[in-house]
Chains A and B, each alone.
Chain A
Amino acid sequence: MIRFEAVTHRQGGRAIVEDVSLEVPEGHLCVLLGASGAGKSTLLRMVNRLVAPAEGRVRLAGRDVAETPPEALRRGIGYVIQSVGLFPHWRVAENIATVPRLLGWPRPRIAARVEALLELVGLEPARFRHRFPHELSGGQAQRIGLARALAADPPVLLMDEPFSALDPATRRGLQAELRRIHRETGKTILFVTHDVEEALALADGLAVLEQGRLVAAGRPAALLAPGAAPRLGALFGEEGLAFHRLATLPARALARPGAPPPGTPALAPEATLKAALLRMLAEGAPCLALPPGPGFAGGVLHWVDLVRAAPVAAA
Chain B
Amino acid sequence: MKAVAAQALAFLAALAAMPHSAPLWAALFPEVQRPLWESRGWFALLGWHLALALGAAALAALLGLGAAILATRGAGRRLRPVLDALFALAQAVPPVAVIALALPLLGFGAAPVLLALVLYAALPVLRAATAGLEAVPAPVRDAARGCGMGPLGMLWRVELPIALPVIRAGLRMAVVMAIATTAVGAIAGAECLGTPIVTGLANGNTAWVAQGALFTAWLALIAHRALRG
Q: Which residues of A contact B (CB under 8 A)?
A: 48, 50, 70-76, 79, 81-89, 98-99, 102, 145, 148, 158
Contact = CB atoms under 8 A, between A and B. Distances in A.
A202 to B, nearest CB: 21
Contact of A81 (B139, B148, B158, B162): B139
A50 B162 CA distance: 22
Contacts of B158: 87, 89
A49 to B, nearest CB: 9
Pairs of residues from A and B, 6 with the lowest C-beta to C-beta distance, nearest first: A85-B143, A79-B146, A75-B148, A85-B139, A74-B148, A83-B139
Contacts of B153: 102
Contacts of A79: 143, 146-147
Contacts of A85: 137, 139-144, 146
B147 A98 contact: yes
Contact of B161 (A50, A89, A102): A89
A102 B143 contact: no
Contact of B143 (A73, A81, A89): A81
B149 interface: yes
Nearest to A99: B147
A87 B159 CA distance: 10
Contacts of B40: none
B167 to A, nearest CB: 13
B145 A74 contact: yes
B150 interface: yes
Contact of B144 (A70, A76, A87, A145): A87
Interface of B: 137, 139-150, 153, 158, 161-162
A224 to B, nearest CB: 32
A30 to B, nearest CB: 18
A102 B142 contact: no
B168 to A, nearest CB: 13
Contacts of A81: 139, 142-143, 146
A70 B154 CA distance: 14
Main secondary structure on B side of the interface with A: helix
A88 B140 contact: yes
B143 A84 contact: yes
A130 B178 CA distance: 40
Contacts of B142: 50, 81, 85
A225 to B, nearest CB: 36
Contacts of A102: 147-149, 153
A98 B145 CA distance: 11
Contacts of A99: 147-148
Of A81, A85, A87, A88, most buried by chain B (CB within 10 Å of CB) is A85
Contacts of B147: 74-75, 79, 98-99, 102, 148
Nearest to A148: B147
Contacts of B144: 85, 87
Query: Which of B140, B145, B146 has most chain A Cβ within 10 Å?
Result: B146
A73 B148 contact: yes
Contacts of B139: 81-85
A271 to B, nearest CB: 36
A173 to B, nearest CB: 22
Contacts of A73: 148
A302 B147 CA distance: 50
Contact of A74 (B141, B146, B162): B146
14 contacts: A70-B148, A71-B150, A74-B145, A74-B147, A74-B148, A75-B148, A76-B148, A79-B146, A85-B140, A85-B142, A87-B140, A89-B158, A102-B149, A148-B143
A131 to B, nearest CB: 17
Contacts of A74: 145-148
A43 to B, nearest CB: 15
Nearest to B136: A88
A145 B142 CA distance: 13
A69 B177 CA distance: 46
